[in-house]
Amino acid sequence: MSTREDVRTALEILENVEWGSGDPPAVIVMPPDSGEYMIGNAGGFVRLAVAALKAAQGEQQSFANEPWVNDYEMDWGVKGLKPDPSAHIYLPPTLTPRQRLWRGVWGYGAPLSLAICLAIGVITIIRWLMRLL
């Protein structure tokens, strides 16, 4: 089977799922600064899976008028799912351990060292000026 056929089969199965629970399907998108996950119940995640499978088939999905998805905050949100065949280009490169070490040294060590050197220099200049006066 090809991937397209597999997606179509999975979509048909998920669209026919019936839930006996009286709870409405729900997915809540938490803001990134909360440290939380995207939360939801079984029905909401199935609806999200259906939307993702439709996006995998090339259909843009909008969450604008969907009652089962809700953004936690008004200043931030996920509008939907948009297919992009070149999405892999936006992934950050995987760093080797050596690159992570250098990024840590230059990311934290160098600015910290520069700040300490500047502070010592400013203090030294102030002490010299005080001696002259």
Residue range 21-60, pLDDT digits in tens: 677 888 887 777 777 788 888 888 888 889 999 998 898 9
Taking the C-alpha atoms of residue 50 and residue 118, their distance in angstroms, rounded to an integer, is: 57
Taking the C-alpha atoms of residue 77 and residue 114, their distance in angstroms, rounded to an integer, is: 39
Nearest residue to 42 via CA among 67, 17, 6: 17
Higher pLDDT, 132 or 79: 132
- Cα torsion 79, 80, 84, 88: sign: positive
Nearest residue to 73 via CA among 36, 23, 22, 21: 36
The token pair at 124 is 């030294």
CA atoms within 13 A on the CB side of 124: 6
SS3 category, 29: strand
Nearest residue to 78 via CA among 60, 58, 63, 90: 63
29 - beta bridge partners?
A: 71
pLDDT band at 78 (very low <50, low <70, confident <90, very high): confident
Taking the C-alpha atoms of residue 66 and residue 40, their distance in angstroms, rounded to an integer, is: 14
The token pair at 87 is 């999405």
**pTM score, whole prediction:** 0.62
